[in-house]
Structure 1
Amino acid sequence: MTTPTLSRRLVAEGLGTLLLVATVVGSGIMADRLSADTAVSLLGNTLPTGAILVVLITILGPVSGAHFNPAVTLVFWIRRDLASREAFAYVAAQIAGGLAGTVLAHAMFELPLVQASQTVRSGAGQWLAEVVATFGLLAAILGGLKHARQAVPWLVGLYITAAYWFTASTSFANPAVAIARAASDTFAGIRPLDVPAFVLCQAGGAVLALAVMSWLLGDALRDPEVA
């Protein structure tokens, strides 16, 4: 199978991250408008996010690998499945796509397009939760690639659906999504001041998952296509 050109892969990464963030932010706005119950709103935010991940990874995975996440790209760069130039381009496309997704969600709900979130997400519990959330996400991807490639979209979607509820941070597990959500003062937002710590914890969780899963599953983890 011919590898798609870098330009096509970057468009896929940007578009996928855009639609992912538009779903996260948009469903959060909709859920918050429809219910005064925070638990119900969180459920209304969770289910669309898990569902869109299954769709996006299935349709865009064959093009770019469907990272949509700098933490995933970091792991596959460390594994030398991506060259440095490609990895940096992927991350740039993901961040740009994520920010565009936030703007799109705001436009659909007739909100100011550019905002700064006031939602505080900080503290040891939140930081640990992001390490755990990202560790689990990468473990699901790496394990799925070895044992059940066709199931990876579902593994990721189901894992994120679960992690929304068992992590104190509601499982961002994605630096591009964290940056994009900082630009939305809505249900899904995160204060910009809190983003750097989240990103560091996400990177740490991703690298830890790579180390653990490489040992646990052996050397047969390397693969140029990651869902």
Structure 2
Amino acid sequence: MASEKRAQKKEQIIYTAMKMLEQSSYNDVRIEDIAQKLDVVKSNIFYYFPSKGILYLNVLEKLHSDIIERFILEVNQTSIKNIVDFKKLIMKLTDIYIRDYITLIKLSIESTRIFSECKREHILQYNNVVNILDDRLQSIIIEKFNGFTRNEIFYIFEVQEHFLRGYYQDMIQNAEYAITDDGDITWERLSLYEFRVTRMLRFFLDGMIYEKNKNTLDK
């Protein structure tokens, strides 16, 4: 009973930290702010998470777990008969990432700072969990479609992440628009970001498909 209550409390703190990050940057969210939101003293947060970095490492893990489960659901519901279907799937997953998991992109940019506030064993544990999740997703894709190797699928998701993080920093974090309404600013930044990322990813996938078809013909 005590362990269940402790797990629930940790999950409540993680969820609160995650929601606060949606409206603020990593620098602007303090442990004091999270404690105030939960109506507890700061030491109560540190009882479960010894540092801000460890707390947000858990947030990263939670967000990554959520998005992989969402991706797996989409893969299982999709018929992949050829490379064109596969490309459509990757673009659909990217759209989900942008629209529903912008907080994960925002936080992943701060991963170096987060890791610096954690012990090595925390980072290794996190990396192990993430690798298992990613491997599960790749295995399910390969079961449905073997047009790409596991290494190629891994590379595609690595490039997806690279585009998402890079263009988020460039197109959203540093963007300035002469619009007074916050909703309009959010919408315009997001739509421009989505356009850039999806266009670049389509070019990348088309290049991979072209090379794969060319190599097949050469043989």
Instruction: Check whether TM > 0.5.
Output: no
Q: Which has the higher contact order (CA 8 A, sep 6+)?
A: 1
TM, length-normalised to structure 1: 0.42
- Larger helix share, 1 or 2: 2
